[in-house]
Amino acid sequence: MLRLKLSILTSPFALAGMLSFSAAIAAAEPPPNDLRSNATVVSALPFTEQLDTTGATSSADDVTDCSTGTASVWYTYTGTPGTQLVADVLGSDYAAVVHIFPDAFPEAVNCALGFSPIVTLGGLGGQTVSIQISDAFSGDGGNLVVAIYEPTPPPNDEISAAATISALPYKDTVELNIATTDADDVQVNDACGFILEHTVWYTFTAGSNDTSLFVDTYNINTYPADIVIATGSPGALTTLTDTDGRPACGFGQLAFYTTPGTTYYVLLNNVGGRIPLTVSEAPPQPSMTVSFDPQGTISTPNGSANLTGTYECIGRFGGINVEVAQTGGRHVIRAGEFGINLNETDCDGNPHPFNALVAPNPKLAVPAGLVSNPFIPGQAVINGYASACNGWGCNYFPVQSTVVQLKR
């Protein structure tokens, strides 16, 4: 990451020259464990550290089995044979990949986004391991939070010891590295069909004011957990169904309606690592409305259409996709499209104005041999859709077909 340093000068001419020509660009200092030769020695477990990796570099020692190796830092640990070891970066503000391997056999690299698979010391003839953590997407790193530890069985591995969610909102970080599966997991998962690997259980009894629940396991440095919700009793659980009769099975997030006084069992399943869990009242189901002003304009010289309007949405929408077409008889002879990218903060339930420039796109004029000319004054038909994914599932919302009048 580059940081800009400006000197304060008294002369306005000097200041202008400084702003134009004399900006001193200095790179962030590399962290002390930037190179493998200077790896941080982990002397005892568990080990945790926060580190600014924005000045970290790459070198010939870097391994690239799971990433490009940019902004990499190194750790090393020597322990007794039989010790199991995991490293993860849960809590970091950028996506990071963890590579871990025994020094005696460096070809045996284990790696994954956000955490390392379990390595047992003494395997492959070595008790010393090297750990490289690098930016997953060739970025500049950031604030790294690393934890190196021996995995332990989670206390809520079995349904008989399910963790109780006593009040909302509820937060937990659970370690799934050596969690197991059993008959209760298989029975409740039968309706969902997930590949069970490492599972834990939670239980929640809805109070008089509880009408919905939202289970969320998303984090930039974890694989989202599979989620199954059921009622009943261990060994005879019934997986919930949604309003369309589909089983209540979620990936990363799951929202569902609750009934006061009913006890619900929540199963989380994942490949491993530490999983952050948040359980809260469910957000409203997604909704989207898009309105176009009845009149648009045509730009010169390329004949693009300028359209204005508003959108109003609730939920996690990726964007709005719209096609604009003019017809000659039954044939589309002029057409174009545009999109509106949306962030979470955009869908707050309030109207937001938009202004779209729609260039004619010949590929959208379907009949062969016809030319998609620039838009001309007259009617244009608008159709489209918006897509949203959250705990309630993934849904498409059609943009109501609208006719606008284009003029120059």
Tell me, yes or no, whether 100 and 2 share the same domain. Answer: no
Tell me, yes or no, whether 190 and 249 share the same domain. Answer: yes
The whole-number pLDDT of residue 373 equals 67
- Of the three residues 131, 149, 167, the one that is the final residue of a domain is 149
Q: What is the pLDDT of residues 370-405, one digit of tens each?
A: 445 688 899 999 999 998 777 887 778 899 899 999
Q: Residue 93: CB partners within 8 Å, gap ≥ 6?
A: 142, 143, 220
d(CA 88, CA 91): 9
The answer to whether residue 154 is domain-embedded is: no
d(CA 132, CA 213): 39
Within 10 angstroms of residue 376's Cβ, the number of other Cβ atoms is 15
Contact by Cβ (8 Å): 133, 89: yes
The answer to whether residue 257 is domain-embedded is: yes
| Domain housing 5 | 1-29
Residue by residue, pLDDT tens for the chain (408 residues) are: 222 222 223 333 333 343 333 333 456 899 999 999 999 999 999 999 999 999 999 999 999 888 877 999 999 999 999 999 999 999 999 999 999 999 988 888 999 999 998 998 987 677 899 999 999 988 899 999 999 999 999 999 999 999 999 999 999 999 999 999 999 999 999 999 999 999 999 999 999 999 999 999 999 999 999 999 999 999 899 999 876 777 889 999 999 999 999 999 999 999 999 999 999 999 888 899 999 999 999 987 778 999 999 999 988 888 899 999 888 777 777 888 889 998 878 999 999 999 998 888 766 554 554 445 688 899 999 999 998 777 887 778 899 899 999 998
The answer to whether residue 318 is domain-embedded is: yes
d(CA 51, CA 97): 15
* Secondary structure (3-state) at 350: coil
The answer to whether residue 101 is domain-embedded is: yes
Tell me, yes or no, whether 178 and 232 share the same domain. Answer: yes
- Of the three residues 128, 149, 170, the one that is the final residue of a domain is 149
Tell me, yes or no, whether 299 and 337 share the same domain. Answer: yes
Tell me, yes or no, whether 168 and 276 share the same domain. Answer: yes
The answer to whether residue 40 is domain-embedded is: yes
Cα–Cα distance list, 360 to 29, 231, 335, 363, 407 (Å)? 50, 54, 5, 9, 15
Tell me, yes or no, whether 11 and 44 share the same domain. Answer: no
Tell me, yes or no, whether 129 and 59 share the same domain. Answer: yes
d(CA 331, CA 366): 8
Among candidates 124, 110, 203, 192, which has minimal Cα distance to 156?
Answer: 203
Residue in this structure with the two tokens 């190194």, named with its chain if needed: 74
The answer to whether residue 217 is domain-embedded is: yes
The answer to whether residue 134 is domain-embedded is: yes
**CATH no. for residue 203?**
2.60.120
Tell me, yes or no, whether 38 and 142 share the same domain. Answer: yes
* Secondary structure (3-state) at 355: strand
Provide the domain count of the chain. Answer: 4
Residue 164 phi, psi (nearest 5): -90, 125
Q: What is the pLDDT of residues 162-175, one digit of tens each?
A: 999 999 999 999 99
- Of the three residues 117, 149, 181, the one that is the final residue of a domain is 149
Tell me, yes or no, whether 370 and 335 share the same domain. Answer: yes
Tell me, yes or no, whether 43 and 120 share the same domain. Answer: yes
Tell me, yes or no, whether 38 and 23 share the same domain. Answer: no
Tell me, yes or no, whether 37 and 78 share the same domain. Answer: yes
Angle at 343 (CA atoms; ends 315, 292), nearest 5 degrees: 80
State the Cα torsion 148-153-159-164 to the nearest 10°.
Answer: -50
**CATH no. for residue 45?**
2.60.120.380
d(CA 336, CA 360): 4
Q: In what order do the strands lie in the sheet with 96-102?
A: 40-42, 73-78, 128-135, 96-102, 110-113
* Secondary structure (3-state) at 124: helix
Q: Residue 103: CB partners within 8 Å, gap ≥ 6?
A: 76, 126, 128, 129, 130
The answer to whether residue 96 is domain-embedded is: yes
